[in-house]
Structure 1
């Protein structure tokens, strides 16, 4: 993720991992969805997503715009909290009746493609109903799997280091693009020694940070069909994290757990925290300090391993209205007014037209936009690591086992062995 900062990701993965692992999803040949058109040619498509009421209110406004532009297409909506969304989705998919279009994430593409749930939107692109040009920084490739277009990004984010600016200033630590992990560790020592705080919230369960570290070293967390690292690699990572806690460089995991759902950074247990850039909003809401985004440390002073990615829209293979679904997705990712309504709720807008249309006025969102622009200008962005079928279950296991390690419930060796055992089962390897 991960401490309290990744509730959405963690709860989503728990839901999908617990439910999808036990469901044999029905084959999705034939027709499904809402049914045929009405007498006047009007069709209805079902759109489902996860999120809070604020997101729902914004999305309803965008749907009103869409229905005004396409009066013959009506959109029936359904949203759930994170956990409930995936429970309901799996039930619908297993019964052969998933929503026509729905919010999705990269960790689920191969899973639901393997279960014959996802529509390849490539045909709709060829037919001219869905535009895949005008995306920022290669995001148009984000939802492509094995030559199939299974998802279209609605926003972007990237991993970042969120820092408490006064703490870093007092410690004399100045993170800059290209700083190394040795620089980072030296900075954590300065923060500990000069401010009395741990330098960082800890790296036990930040799976996507570990992925970047692996990518910096020519590996990756996932390959197209499995894990891209060894037990020795993970042993080294978790040993270093454990040593960091012992030395006071990272926050005490027990204290971090006690203050949840508040973040360790906002609770002043540490001076920084690795997370997704668009999660930065939470720190200003939770804490009393001034926060900023800093670059990811590197192994060689150049390669960060970073990529842009975020939520996306996918379609059901059973939909009776693929053209209308494609027109809906096209509208949601290209229309400038949609961006002005949604803001950065689902990440920085994925297309340049929407990015230009919404210019944030608050300092937090300005910083998020500037951070992502700095990644493009620095030339550090790369294609995302492929996620195999079962990746969501692996991620859920990584987060849970890492937390158990941090709380002293497992040794490093036990944690590594448990993770690989569960992952091999999830991936069928």
Structure 2
């Protein structure tokens, strides 16, 4: 789950289904990590994706780490999301991945099956990596088949981002436990009273569809493949198309025309389902005030939600597993790192960093309050690590859904095409 809101979701996922271009290696030199220097100094390589602002923050945390660990040097490499995964794929295929790198749940099984990821559990057992003190069970997030393949750095969850002024004028105050029927009625009321669509559209929001499936005891992915049927997806996409035709959901063609600006900031819709920490994006793009509303439910209780997270993973080829483990430990536990990073990668995953950073702006306070409400209400559920090929299936879902929304495919054609591509990607 992505926590950098500087690029639209379609752009982020194009890399997943495309060919990998050959790209050069980082300036850190050959091999998974540089050897120890004559004075015993060890150099490790650290790579991540994100914006220039994230790079500045991370570089500041690295300076702090090197000051406290003078025998460990860190060489860095950051790219935009697309370029990061292109480069990483090339490096991993050539046996030269960085020692430690930013990762996401959609890639754990994929790179574990390719023997790229280091099982960090032995380092945790040796005391080099603390796996206690995480919020809301996040320490389990990077576990796959008994192996510890990633350590969370932050958390986020799906939410409904709303234009607070429009909702207030329409007299709508979403409360936890509201149902999909109440959501649809609210969207229709906004359409009828405020002169814009209620929601930006449900076609291609894969993680929202996952929550809807989980509310019915299913899931988008299982550990082996897809967890739903063609009939399930036909029902979802048919309802989404009906919402567009009725004006409850925004016109997909108009939404496409204003990208990368969101439909909410562009005043085409009053609400949009996305990750909670993306709320910052709307504030920078739009003229209104934006807030977070709860996910609708089927039964008035179960939302299907979980806390997602970016994480740090290590290369199986690293020559310095202990130093890598100590680096990861520092990055997820040190309170000064929490103050520096803030909510850049989501709400801090550990209690020490969560307590060290107190947001001063209204948007970040809303994000913290939203996630705390999820924890306190007990609605959070575990997430199943995605199967290998999930990134390709997700890209196909987004692309095919957009084609259908723009009138290039019928619902039946879109469903058939998605299942054909997904089964190929997932090997099922």
TM-score bracket, normalised by the shorter chain, equals over 0.9
Contact 2:183 2:296 in 1 (8 A): yes
Offset, 1:15:
1.6
Q: Distance in 2 between matches of 1:5 and 1:49?
A: 15
SS in 1 for 2:291: strand
Aligned to 1:391: 390
Contact 1:12 1:86 in 2 (8 A): no
Aligned to 2:26: none
Contact 2:10 2:399 in 1 (8 A): no
Per-residue displacement from partner, 1:234-280 (whole Å, max 9, x unpaired)? 00000000000000000000000000110000010011000000000
Structure 1 residues 5 and 70, CA gap change in structure 2 (3 angstroms): closer
Aligned to 1:249: 248
Aligned to 2:27: none
Contact 1:154 1:313 in 2 (8 A): yes
Aligned to 2:13: 13
Offset, 1:297:
0.1
**1:264-275 equivalence runs, <5 A:** 264-275=263-274
Q: Distance in 1 between matches of 2:160 and 2:96?
A: 41
**1:169-184 equivalence runs, <5 A:** 169-184=168-183
Q: Distance in 1 between matches of 2:7 and 2:204?
A: 13
Q: Distance in 2 between matches of 1:76 and 1:19?
A: 28
Q: Are 1:127 and 2:126 counterparts?
A: yes
Q: TM-score, normalised by structure 2?
A: 0.96
Aligned to 1:150: 149
Offset, 1:166:
1.3
Offset, 1:5:
6.8
SS in 2 for 1:199: strand
Aligned to 2:25: none
Per-residue displacement from partner, 1:392-420 (whole Å, max 9, x unpaired)? 00000001011101100000000000000
Contact 1:16 1:87 in 2 (8 A): no
Aligned to 1:409: 408
Structure 1 residues 5 and 323, CA gap change in structure 2 (3 angstroms): closer
Q: Are 1:38 and 2:29 counterparts?
A: no
Offset, 1:79:
0.5
Q: Are 1:217 and 2:216 counterparts?
A: yes
SS in 2 for 1:190: helix
SS in 2 for 1:229: coil
Offset, 1:173:
1.5
**1:6-85 equivalence runs, <5 A:** 7=7, 9-19=9-19, 32-85=31-84
Q: Distance in 2 between matches of 1:234 and 1:207?
A: 11
Contact 2:8 2:260 in 1 (8 A): no
SS in 2 for 1:249: coil
Aligned to 2:164: 165
Deviates more, 1:248-257 or 1:7-16: 7-16
Aligned to 2:228: 229
Per-residue displacement from partner, 1:108-152 (whole Å, max 9, x unpaired)? 000000000000000000000000000000100000001100000
Offset, 1:9:
4.7
Offset, 1:16:
3.4
Offset, 1:328:
0.3
Q: Distance in 1 between matches of 2:191 and 2:384?
A: 34
Q: TM-score, normalised by structure 1?
A: 0.95
Offset, 1:14:
2.2
SS in 1 for 2:134: coil
Q: Distance in 2 between matches of 1:8 and 1:139?
A: 26
Structure 1 residues 256 and 6, CA gap change in structure 2 (3 angstroms): farther
Contact 1:137 1:376 in 2 (8 A): yes
Offset, 1:35:
3.4
SS in 1 for 2:383: coil
Contact 1:139 1:350 in 2 (8 A): yes
Offset, 1:36:
2.3
SS in 2 for 1:318: coil
Q: Distance in 1 between matches of 2:340 and 2:9?
A: 24
Contact 1:5 1:261 in 2 (8 A): no
**1:98-137 equivalence runs, <5 A:** 98-137=97-136
Count of matched residue positions in the alignment of Structure 1 and Structure 2:
420
SS in 2 for 1:47: strand
Aligned to 1:208: 207
Aligned to 2:339: 340
Q: Distance in 2 between matches of 1:192 and 1:94?
A: 51
Aligned to 2:281: 282
